[in-house]
Amino acid sequence: DTAVSQTPKYLVTQMGNDKSIKCEQNLGHDTMYWYKQDSKKFLKIMFSYNNKELIINETVPNRFSPKSPDKAHLNLHINSLELGDSAVYFCASSQDLAGGETQYFGPGTRLLVL
Amino acid sequence: AQTVTQSQPEMSVQEAETVTLSCTYDTSENNYYLFWYKQPPSRQMILVIRQEAYKQQNATENRFSVNFQKAAKSFSLKISDSQLGDTAMYFCAFLGNAGNMLTFGGGTRLMVKP
């Protein structure tokens, strides 16, 4: 059973397009996250949601819009894609906002903007 | 803001030998959590081990153990009896007690040689 899943795993698109990445977790967790891993492998938080509410927005351009239809899903929509958006995007989840909860990651989505 | 530093961009070890990966961090918090994640070529982020700062005992998980030195703000990972499947990027990560965003180090690429 896949705990945190993401679709698609690979996404190749042209500059200026709009694309979405979907994330689902079947762990019963309340909190979900999006992280971005750049070409140098550096990982940084983008957003976190708790029970469908936005908790963290780490100075991400407003072309990125997360949406959480329910607490098991956190999707990432990106408008007007730019070359610099090329990266691997990871979804993660944790039990809740209580201190120290382990975050479990999805397999990542590799986005390439041409 | 917290920072996490991994000073070894790349390391190699012979199969069956022991290797230690270094991690230092900077924080003003007293309660926090530290993690090591493994990212093999498959790109999946896999939790290796976690340590609660309030615990003096070092965490262990089978062949993986940590040396947690709170005063020195050091959190190294020791891999015993290295196996070919341990070849991966290893990321050290910090989680504060109040927040829920992981702060990652830059990673150490480990190659296990036969």
Per-residue pLDDT tens digits for B41-78:
989 999 999 999 999 899 999 999 999 999 999 999 99
Percent of chain A with pLDDT over 70: 98
* Inter-chain touch B47–A104, beta carbons under 8 Å: yes
Mutant choice from A10, A33, A39, A41 vs B, greatest count of B C-beta within 10 A: A41
What is the predicted pLDDT for the residue at A1?
Answer: 63
Architecture label for domain A4-113: Sandwich (2.60)
* A20: CB partners within 8 A, 6+ apart: A75, A76, A77, A78
Mean pLDDT of chain B: 94
Mean pLDDT, residues A20-46: 94
What is the predicted pLDDT for the residue at A73?
Answer: 95
Q: Is the Cβ–Cβ distance between B39 and B88 less than 8 Å?
A: yes
* Inter-chain touch B101–A100, beta carbons under 8 Å: no
- Which chain A residues touch B37 with a CB distance below 8 Å? 105
What is the predicted pLDDT for the residue at B56?
Answer: 87
Residue B16: pLDDT band with limits 50, 70, 90 = very high
For chain A, the domains span 4-113
Integer Cα distance of A29 and A106 in angstroms: 13
- Which chain B residues touch A90 with a CB distance below 8 Å? 45
What is the predicted pLDDT for the residue at B101?
Answer: 86
Catalogue all structural domains in chain B, each as residue range(s) with its CATH number: 3-113 (2.60.40.10)
